[in-house]
Structure 1
Amino acid sequence: MEWFDNFWSVYSNLVLTLGTNALLALSIYLTLSCGMLAIANAAFMGIGAYTSALLTMNYGLPFPLVLLAGMAAPAFMAFVIGKPTLRLSGVYLAMATLAFGEVVRIALLNTESLTGGALGLNGIPQSTQWWHVALALALTLALLWRLNRSKVGRAFESIKEDETAAGLMGIDVAAHKMLAFVLGAAIAGLAGTLNAHLTFFIGPSEYGFDRAVDILTMAILGGIGNLTGPVIGAVILTLLPELLRSFKDFRLVVNGFILVLIVLFLPKGIWDPARFTQWFGRKGSRA
């Protein structure tokens, strides 16, 4: 298996990044499935990454505890800010959560004694192994699959379709929104923890506006109709820059052009089971 060893030595970080990006896409899928355009996932990722890195570097805690702390810190922060912000909806919620992301980024920049400021944290132990990422992704998919088929998942769908009608049917809209927001933050923190202990280095610029837009694009690109879509979107958006390296300076232009085409011609994302069913139905009727 020499070819595999060579492949893994070169592309192992890229393969594991596919997994962490898939977790990020699933984290925002959860809030979108409840009808919330909350774009704080990059900030939650940063909180998880910094919390876990500081606990590892300063206190030498074992990796399992660090993973739990990296999920608990952003989940707690989501609960705190969720009380006032989740009363908003639509673009106002998006603006509020983006503002929170900027607050987190600026706080990381200005607490140099703790976070390293603009220089970030370097020399984080590489504790993340391939099976950590695979297990985290598998458990997250299993949890969300089970959630979608539960009473809570049906409540999420009702809130997404019509929040007022859901409330009139006896659904606790505020509690379900908070659950989706906090759980999404925990998943984003998990991705941040795994990524921080994979790349050796983290800095405030990694968790700003650009990362927030990337996470949202992954979910929208793949489609938010089911769990498969965000994972496909994460894979495509992670691999696309690598596949377009031959375009050199025009790589970002081609990348953006491809994304625009997909949004224009596939508004429900690449993975749309209803479209596939319709297409195969037409093909079968012709046969």
Structure 2
Amino acid sequence: MSALQTFWDIYGNLVLSLGTNALLALSIWLTLACGMLAMANAAFMGIGAYTAALLTMNYDMPFSVALAGGMVAPAVVAALIGLPTIRLSGVYLAMATLGFGEVVRVAILNTESLTGGALGLNGIPQSTQWWHVAGAVVIVLLVLWRVRASKIGRAFDAIRSDETAAGLMGIDVRANKMLAFILGAAVAGLAGALNAHLTFFIGPQEFGFDRGVEILTMTILGGINSLIGPLLGSAIITVLPEALRGLGDFRLVANGVILVLIVLFLPQGIWDPARFARWTRKGGKRHA
């Protein structure tokens, strides 16, 4: 028991980071599943983190209310900015959402009386427990699994395959894109709220361009063809730097080389059901 306690004391935050990063990967999976390359998830995470932190620090709100606020605030913002931006596609949508992320970062820097500016917010209550993170991941997975198996999920797949054809089939492309964008923002906000009450401190540098690229990398690395992919990708991105810590200054180089090799040789991500099915068919033919 003492060994388990020692492990948790050392790696507890890393284990909980696996959960919050899984939520972030799932948040961008939603938009990718609908054919949208949106890069605003880091900003939505920041909005959720600051909203939840301010609710507990300034207004003494219960943790559950803070989590709800951390989800609602980015969802509302996503609904507002989604109206003009979801008409865009591809790199143009990515550029627009990256610009929104920069607007959020600058707004945080210039509202020192509320957000602490460049110094960030310190002394956030450590309310996040392991079961909060585990419960959030399980609930989000169940919701997304139901969405994927529903008419909405089939509409997402159709839009990702061919937006024009989906529209001709009677699918409301704009409404489905807006739904994916808003749901993704809410999940990213939940991850931010949980993370803020785990680390005691949040600052604007945590929700910038680098964080947005990291979130996208998690999902692309794991694969977007199933819900297992984002979970696997987020686990690798979270654990790999820690596993390579013994390499010292070469840790980041080794980290980058591993990621590049995976992307080159597994372009559909590590978890690709279609690839597994092909391997199974080939194995069956050889045994036959």
After TM superposition, is the score higher than 0.5? Answer: yes
2:52 matched residue in structure 1: 52
- Which residues of 2 match residues 123-272 of structure 1 at below 5 A? 123-272=123-272
Distance in 1 of aligned mates of 2:2 and 2:251: 32
Report the TM-score when normalising by structure 2. 0.99
Aligned residues: percent identity? Answer: 72
Q: State the shift of 1:283 in Å.
A: 2.1
Greater alpha carbon shift after TM alignment, 209-218 vs 6-15: 6-15
Matched residue SS, 2:127: coil
Moved over 2 A (4+): none
Distance in 2 of aligned mates of 1:248 and 1:98: 32
Distance in 1 of aligned mates of 2:13 and 2:206: 16
Kindly provide the amino acid, as one letter, of the partner of residue 201 in structure 1: F
Gaps of 5+ in 1: none
Aligned length: 287
Distance in 2 of aligned mates of 1:69 and 1:176: 24
Q: State the shift of 1:286 in Å.
A: 1.8
- Which residues of 2 match residues 70-89 of structure 1 at below 5 A? 70-89=70-89
Matched residue SS, 1:183: helix
Distance in 2 of aligned mates of 1:153 and 1:246: 43
Q: State the shift of 1:280 in Å.
A: 2.5
Distance in 2 of aligned mates of 1:114 and 1:208: 19
Distance in 2 of aligned mates of 1:3 and 1:251: 27
Distance in 1 of aligned mates of 2:248 and 2:280: 39
Greater alpha carbon shift after TM alignment, 93-102 vs 245-254: 245-254
1:110-144: per-residue Cα shift (whole Å, max 9, x none)? 11111001110000000000000000000000000
Q: State the shift of 1:281 in Å.
A: 2.3
Report the TM-score when normalising by structure 1. 0.99
1:234-257: per-residue Cα shift (whole Å, max 9, x none)? 000000100111111111111111
1:194-246: per-residue Cα shift (whole Å, max 9, x none)? 00000000000000000000000000000000000000000000001001111
2:22 matched residue in structure 1: 22
Distance in 2 of aligned mates of 1:283 and 1:214: 36
Distance in 2 of aligned mates of 1:275 and 1:240: 24
